[in-house]
Homo-oligomer: A and B are copies of this chain.
Amino acid sequence: MKNKIPVTVVGANGYSGEELVRLLLGHPGAELAGVTSRQHAGKKLGQVFPRFSGVPGAEVRFLEPTIDGLLATGAECFFLALPHGVAAEFALPLVAAGKRVVDISADFRLNDAAVYKEFYSSEHPAPDLLAEAVYGLPEAYREKIRGAKLLAAPGCYPTSILLPLLPLLRAGLLQADTIAVSSASGTSGAGRKADESLLFAECSGSLRAYGIPKHRHLSEIEQELSHAAGREVLITFVPHLAPMTRGIHTTIFAMPRAGATGEQMLQALLQAYEGEPFVRVLDGLPDTKCVVGTNFCDIGLRVDGRTGRLILLSAEDNLIKGAGGQGIQCFNLMFGLTETEGLL
Query: Contact residues of A with B, CB < 8 Å?
Result: 15, 26, 49-51, 53-56, 177-178, 180, 182, 184, 186-188, 192-196, 198-210, 212-214, 234-236, 238, 240, 242-247, 249, 251, 253, 277, 280, 282, 284-294, 296, 298, 300, 302-307, 309, 311, 313, 315, 340, 344
Contacts and interface: CB of A to CB of B under 8 A. Distances in A.
Contacts of A50: 280, 282, 284, 287, 290, 298
B244 A280 contact: no
Given A184-B207, A205-B244, A247-B205, A51 B291 contact: yes
Given A56-B340, A207-B288, A213-B311, 6 more contacts: A26-B344, A182-B253, A200-B245, A204-B245, A205-B289, A206-B288
Contacts of A203: 200
Contacts of A200: 187, 198-200, 202-204, 243, 245
Given A177-B307, A196-B192, A245-B201, A208 B251 contact: no
A287 B253 contact: no
A287 B187 contact: no
Contacts of A202: 200, 289
A63 B233 CA distance: 49
A236 B307 contact: yes
A187 B201 contact: yes
Contacts of A247: 205, 207
User: Copy number in this complex?
Assistant: 4
Contact of A244 (B207, B210, B291, B306): B207
Given A207-B242, A292-B205, A304 B249 contact: no
Contacts of A253: 180, 182, 236, 238, 253
B235 A307 contact: yes
Contacts of A344: 26, 55-56
Nearest to A306: B234
19 contacts: A15-B201, A51-B289, A54-B296, A184-B242, A187-B201, A188-B201, A193-B199, A194-B194, A200-B200, A205-B244, A205-B289, A207-B244, A207-B247, A208-B249, A208-B289, A213-B306, A213-B311, A238-B253, A242-B243
A54 B294 CA distance: 11
Nearest to A58: B344
A249 B26 CA distance: 26
A331 to B, nearest CB: 19
Contacts of A300: 209
Nearest to A309: B236
A240 B182 CA distance: 11
Given A289-B202, A298-B50, A214 B246 contact: no
A285 B213 contact: no
